[in-house]
Chain A
Amino acid sequence: MIRLRIRLELEWKVLLLAAVLFAAFVWPVQRFFITRLSKTLTESIDPGLEQTLRNEIVDAAPQERAVLTEHLERYRQTKVLIPIIVREQQRLITALSVGLFISFLLIAFWVLRYLTQPLKNLAVAVGKIGKGEVAVFSRHSDGALGIVETAVANLQTELVVLREKERVLGMEAAWKDIARIMAHEIKNPLTPIRLTLDRIEEKVGSGQTISSDDLTRFLVRINTQIDMLERLVDQFRSFSRDPEVNLTAVDVGAVIRTIGDTLGEKLSTVITGSLVMQSDPYLLQQVFLNIWKNSLEAGATIIETTIGKNDGQSMITIGDNGQGIAPDDLERIWLPYVTFKKHGTGLGLPVVKRLIETLGGTITMTSVLHHGITITISFPQYSLQGATDHEQ
C-alpha cells in the first residue's frame, strides 16, 4: 500500500477543508432548491386548463377564439418552458456558487496569509532565539498575537541575561574545576615525598645511621616526585591542550615497582611478567600512582599485577583486595567528581582514563563488592603514531 504523505501548511489545509465542505454542502443544497423550484413550477400549471380552453375555442365566436387561442398558447408555452427555466436557474446558481467559491477561496487565502504571516515571523524569530542569535521581528499585532509577540520579545531579553549569567557561572565553575584538579594532581606526588621524609625523620629521630645507598634512594625518590610536580605545573600551564606525550621505551614493570616501593609499607605489590613498550613514563607513572592511591584509599593491602602481551596487545591487569565497587556504580566511576569514598575527589579514575586514552589505550574495570576490583589496561601494538611495542 502506497502511503502518500503530503505536508501542507496550515492555510492550505484550511482552504482544502473549505473546498471539501463547499462540495459536500453547496452541491446538495443547490440540487434541493432546483428540485423544489421544478416541483413548484410544475404544480402551478393546471393540468385541466388546456382541455377547457380547447373546448371553449370550438364554440367561441371568432373574436373570442383569438383571445382563447392566445391563452392556450401562453399556457402551452409556460408548460413547455418549465424545464428550460429550471435549467437556466440551475446554471445561474451553479455559476454564482462557483464565483462565490472562488471569491471565498481568494479572500480566505488572503485572510489566512494575513493572519499566519506574523506567526511565521514569530516561528522564525523563535528559531533564531533558540540558536542564540538576535531575532528582529515586528511587534505591531493586536490581541492575543500581540501578547505572544511581547512574550517572545521578553523571552529573548531574559535569555540574553540568562546566557550572560550562565557564561559567568561557567567560567567560575571552570576555574573551580581547574583548582580542584590542580590540588588533586599536586597532592599525588606530595604523598610519597611526605612518606620518604617521614622515614628519614624516623631514622634520624631513632638515632639510626642512614646508609649512603638509602640516602641516595630517598633523594632519587624525592627528586622523581619533584620532577613530576614540575611537569604537572607545565601541564596545567597548557591546560587547554592535551597532555604532552613524550614517547620512549618504557619498562612497565619498573614503573610499577617504583610506585610499589613508594607505597610499599601500606600496600604490597606483586608483579607477574614483564613488558617493555613505547609510551610516556611520566604519564604511565601518573596512571599507576592514581590507581595505587585509589586502592589504598579503598582499604586494599595487596595489589597483584600481571603484565605482558596478548593477541598483539600490551596488557596490564591490576587487581586489589579493597572494598570494591557495586556493579551498578561501575559505569559512573569514570565520570569526574563521582566518588564512593568519604574523602575522595572523584578525579583520580577520570584522570587515569583520560591519560590512558591519550596514550592510545583502553581501560575497563570489573568488581565484586567487598572483594576488590580488577582493572584491565590494553594498548594496541601501535598505540600511538610511530609507537612500537617491544617485549623483553
Chain B
Amino acid sequence: MLDNIADGFLGLFMFLTQWLSPHSSDGEIRIAAVRELTAVTAVECVISIEWNDRMSDLLDAGIPVSFAIMSYSDKGDTVRSIRTLSCDVADYTYMISDSLLNGADSVYTSKKIPQIFRAVKLYQRFERTFSRDASILHVEAVLLPSRVNRLNRSIDLSEICDCRKFSLHLVRKGTEIRQ
C-alpha cells in the first residue's frame, strides 16, 4: 500500500510540475513563396503565431515582441537574426526591426506602420535565402522573453500565444522543395 501511495504522490507532483511549468509546445513556420533566383533560392516564411488581444495589449503597452530566427542548410547558409515588433506608445505606430547577428551587427528597421494587424502580418513574414544546391533547408524561430523596461522585468510571451518554438524543415528533390 505504501508503494501505491508513493506512486500516487509522484504522479500528482509530476502533474503539478507540468501544470506549473511554462508552455513549450512547438509551432510551425509556413511557406508563403519560393523563388529561384540566379544563385540562391529565396524562401518567404510566415510564422504561424496565434495573435490575440492580449498580445495586442502587451504590444500597445510598449512591450516588444522578439523572435530569434535562425536558418541553415546542408551547404552552410547559416543566418541568425533577432526580429522585433515594437510600438511607439506616443502615436500608436508600429515598427519592425531585424538585427543580423552575422559578424558586423546590422540592423534593418521598417517604416512606421499605423495599423497593428498590418504590422503583425508584416512581422510574421520574412525571407531567407539558401544556396541553390542545398538539399536540406531549415528555418527556426524562437519567441524570446520580452523586456518590460518601465517595470524593470521581463515576461514570457510564449505563455500567452501557447508556443515558444516555430520551425520549418524543407527538403529539395530536383527542382521541387517539399516540407
Q: Which residues of chain B come closer than 8 Å to A95, judged between CB atoms?
A: 16, 20
Q: A78-B151, A84-B155, A102-B9 given as contacts; is B62 within 8 A of A73 (CB)?
A: yes
Contact B60 A76 (CB under 8 A): yes
Contact A77 B90 (CB under 8 A): no
Contact B151 A81 (CB under 8 A): yes
Which parts of A94-111 form the interface with B (CB within 8 Å)?
Answer: 94-95, 98, 102, 105
Contact A80 B63 (CB under 8 A): yes
CA–CA, A77 and B1, complex, Å: 52
Among A74, A79, A83, find the residue whose CB has the most chain B CB atoms closer than 10 A. A74
CA–CA, A80 and B60, complex, Å: 9
CA–CA, A327 and B131, complex, Å: 119
0/1 string, A98-138, CB within 8 A of B gives 1: 10001001000000000000000000000000000000000
Contact of A77 among B9, B16, B20, B151 (CB under 8 A): B151
0/1 string, B33-59, CB within 8 A of A gives 1: 000000000000000000000100110
CA–CA, A102 and B16, complex, Å: 12
Contact of A94 among B13, B16, B150, B155 (CB under 8 A): B16
* Chain B CB within 8 A of A139 CB: no
* Chain B CB within 8 A of A35 CB: no
Contact B13 A77 (CB under 8 A): no
B interface, size bucket? 10 to 19
* Chain A CB within 8 A of B170 CB: no
Q: Which residues of chain B come closer than 8 Å to A79, judged between CB atoms?
A: 61
Chain A interface SS verdict (over half) = helix
Q: A57-B90, A74-B150 given as contacts; is B58 within 8 A of A80 (CB)?
A: yes
* Chain A CB within 8 A of B148 CB: yes
* Chain A CB within 8 A of B89 CB: yes
Contact A94 B20 (CB under 8 A): yes
Contact B89 A69 (CB under 8 A): yes
* Shortest beta-carbon distance from B89 to chain A in Å: 5
Contact B89 A73 (CB under 8 A): yes
* Chain B CB within 8 A of A332 CB: no
Q: Which residues of chain B come closer than 8 Å to A94, judged between CB atoms?
A: 16, 20
* Shortest beta-carbon distance from B110 to chain A in Å: 20
- List 14 A–B pairs whose Cβ atoms lie within 8 Å, in order of A's numbering: A69-B89, A73-B61, A73-B150, A74-B151, A76-B61, A76-B89, A77-B150, A78-B150, A80-B58, A81-B61, A81-B148, A81-B151, A98-B16, A102-B9
Interface residues of A (CB under 8 A from B): 12, 57, 65, 69-70, 72-74, 76-81, 83-84, 91, 94-95, 98, 102, 105
Interface pairs A-B: 3 shortest CB-CB: A76-B61, A74-B150, A73-B62
Extra inter-chain contacts (14) besides given A80-B54, A102-B9, CB under 8 Å:
A12-B1, A57-B90, A69-B89, A76-B61, A76-B62, A77-B62, A77-B63, A78-B150, A79-B61, A80-B60, A81-B151, A84-B155, A94-B20, A102-B13
